[in-house]
Copies of this chain bind each other. A is one copy, B any other.
Amino acid sequence: MQFGPELHTPVSHRAAGVVILNAAGDLLMVRENGVPGQRQKAGLWHIPSGTVEDGENPQDTAVREAWEEAGVRVRLLKFLAAYLGHFPDGVPVLRHAWLAEALPDSIFRPALPDEVTEVRFVPKTEFDALYDARLIRMHHTKLFYEDALRERGR
């Protein structure tokens, strides 16, 4: 064996979400409410996404979270990327995203309304301004958006 179990690096936390663009290249985003225990994310913008539950396939997580957070029934078009990060306490997290499209039975309002206050398409210029104002929740969101624009331009 060339790369044995001693060279495997467990990642304790995984997340998955969707990147949905409209014809203009605007990004579908949700604005986090910040329920009790998660106040630090209140008011920040994010793609529909969430934690991969035990035994769940990340692809299924992405589809589930699109409905729960944004009221969007999705068809996954293509995998975009998985980015590694760390929480401030050093715990590693792997975040996956798929380029997706909204199906006609989408309602574009959260199925779990306590977690999200707003669902809408954000133009690229507004996204960049929100990023500069530190109102985008994660740097990884910017990487996924850039991946999606690149993928659509192929």
Contact = CB atoms under 8 A, between A and B. Distances in A.
Per DSSP, chain A at the interface is mixed
A135 B2 CA distance: 9
How many monomers of this chain does the complex have?
2
A138 B2 contact: yes
Given A2-B41, A84-B84, 17 more contacts: A1-B135, A1-B137, A1-B138, A1-B139, A3-B87, A3-B138, A3-B139, A3-B140, A4-B138, A7-B85, A7-B88, A7-B139, A8-B85, A11-B84, A57-B80, A58-B79, A59-B79
Interface of A: 1-5, 7-11, 40-41, 44, 55, 57-59, 78-88, 92, 94, 96, 131, 134-140, 143, 150-151
